[in-house]
Amino acid sequence: MRQTPLPARAPGRRRLLGGMAALAALAATGAGTAGCAAPAAVGAGRTRVRFWHLFGGGDGVSMRTMLDAYRAAHPEVALEASTLQWGAPYYTKLGMAGAGGRAPEVAALHLARLPGFGPGSLLDPFDTGLLAEHGVTEEDFPADLWRRGRIGGRQYAVPLDTHPMVLYYNTDLCAKAGLLGPDGRLKPVRGTEEFTAALRAAGKATGGPGLVVETLGAGTIGPWRLFATFYSQTGGTLLDEGATRITLDDTRALRVLRFMRRLTDEGLAHRRVDYNGTVGVFGGGETAFLLNGEWEVGTFTNLGLPFSMSRVPNLFGRPTAQADSHCLVLPHQRDRGGETNEAAHAFVAWLLRNSAEWARGGHVPAYLPVLEEPAYLDLHPQSEYRSVIDDVALDPPAWFAGSASTMWIELGAVLSGVLTGSRTPQGALAEMRDRLQALLDTPDPLGGDA
């Protein structure tokens, strides 16, 4: 789930479209990369379903387990799964395949990337009636996650999960600091003063900063995710609903930016640490708290670290947390339909109904019935923060937003300076506005229609 660095500026429209056209031509002639061949039946009565995804690490292990279980339960389907490189390389290849109309039957996509990914041209819509035949309906999902997959009245994405920022805490250190309740869970924390008091108590237990969060590095995005979490808690927005105009609220944004600066200025959080450093610091028992995505749960479990996880505390008035959602999509095929298309819908429905296994990697299943299953509720600490499913703060529906996006890299670089001390909150706010406006002024390279 870790980001791959992207270029600092969005590629020009002409350059990207030219590249897409060339790649599409390769795919159309069969000279493209492996996996772009036309759909076909395989073997004696078996139907081929190809699935492209970008899951590595802990969630990759969970996905392989799920795919093996699917194959065992569906011998009539020849499932071919390909794990591609995370980030920009994945989206470039997926776009190429859709542009050529010879894509895999099913693929994974970050939901916040959907508006810029060419629904109707690079993606085909789901047949919701066909999904319903396999036990999956709109009512089975959080309303906002389902709505974000719908464009122009058609469903182009079905959410598999949400992966929010969460608070990891070392249970031994927090017990030493008097921060755990009788049930062994972190005592409730509300507001910035209670949070900073908890960090000070944790710092006394560790002899150093109580918190670690990503503050710098090539392609850093941790500072953006931290700001997006806290800013969403103020009720502020970044862009209007049509993603055409900046709606950043200076008062709310400055309140958050000054708090972020306070964390490092007062020694409550480590000032200079990259992503891998945060994992090492928390995993080594050097600090009591880590703010990060929930996908590192397997890392710390394998280390034998005494830890648990909770939702990010409500510091600014709302219990929200920055998040994205892995979703399942149907990349564009010229001849989509028939048994292969039905098998693709059935495969998507099966993954959703069996996503308790997916939750082992930390993600919160979006298919609501799974959240009530004993197999999920027995997962600890994964089930501890499940209620965040109703309070996730997704990026605005802009082509340049979402996981592995230009916006994350652009704003992450600006906000990094607030945490490290190289930018003032006021200066960072002005630069955020400038970079957002530059992105708004750049045409969508894929021609997506939000």
pLDDT in tens, 310-331: 999 999 999 999 999 999 999 9
pLDDT higher at 447 or 42:
447
Using 50, 70 and 90 to split pLDDT, how confident is the model at 206? very high
Omega before 319 within 30 of 0, i.e. cis:
no
Q: Is the pLDDT of residue 118 over 80?
A: no
- Identify the CATH assignment for 164-323+396-440 out of 3.40.50.1100, 3.10.580.10, 3.40.190.10, 3.40.50.1980: 3.40.190.10
Q: Is the pLDDT of residue 301 over 90?
A: yes
Tell me the three state secondary structure of residue 324. Answer: strand
pLDDT in tens, 243-269: 999 999 999 999 999 999 999 999 999
Stretch 274-278: mean pLDDT: 97
Q: One fold for both 13-162+324-382 and 164-323+396-440?
A: yes
Residue closest to 291 by CA, chosen among 215, 203, 394, 194: 215
What ranges do the domains of the chain cover?
A: 13-162+324-382, 164-323+396-440
Stretch 43-65: mean pLDDT: 89
Rounded CA-CA distance 148/337 in Å is 24
Beta-bridge partner residues of 248: none
% the chain with pLDDT above 70: 89
Stretch 211-239: mean pLDDT: 97
| Least confident range of 9-23, 186-200, 332-346 | 9-23
What is 212-247 written as a DSSP string?
E----STT--HHHHHHHHHHHHTT--SB-TTS-SB-
In this prediction, residue 25 carries a pLDDT of 33
Stretch 354-360: mean pLDDT: 97
In this prediction, residue 35 carries a pLDDT of 37
Helix (H) or strand (E) holding 52: strand 46-53
Rounded CA-CA distance 427/444 in Å is 28
Stretch 271-282: mean pLDDT: 98
Using 50, 70 and 90 to split pLDDT, how confident is the model at 42? low
Structure tokens at 142: 């959080």
- Identify the CATH assignment for 13-162+324-382 out of 3.40.50.300, 3.40.190.10, 3.30.450.20, 3.40.50.720: 3.40.190.10
Angle at 236 between CA 235 and CA 237, to 5 degrees: 125
Using 50, 70 and 90 to split pLDDT, how confident is the model at 87? confident
Stretch 185-212: mean pLDDT: 97
In this prediction, residue 44 carries a pLDDT of 61
pLDDT in tens, 140-167: 999 999 999 999 999 999 999 999 999 9
* Helices and strands (DSSP H and E) totals, the chain: 15, 16
Cα-based distances in Å from 209 to 191, 263, 266, 282 = 19, 9, 9, 11
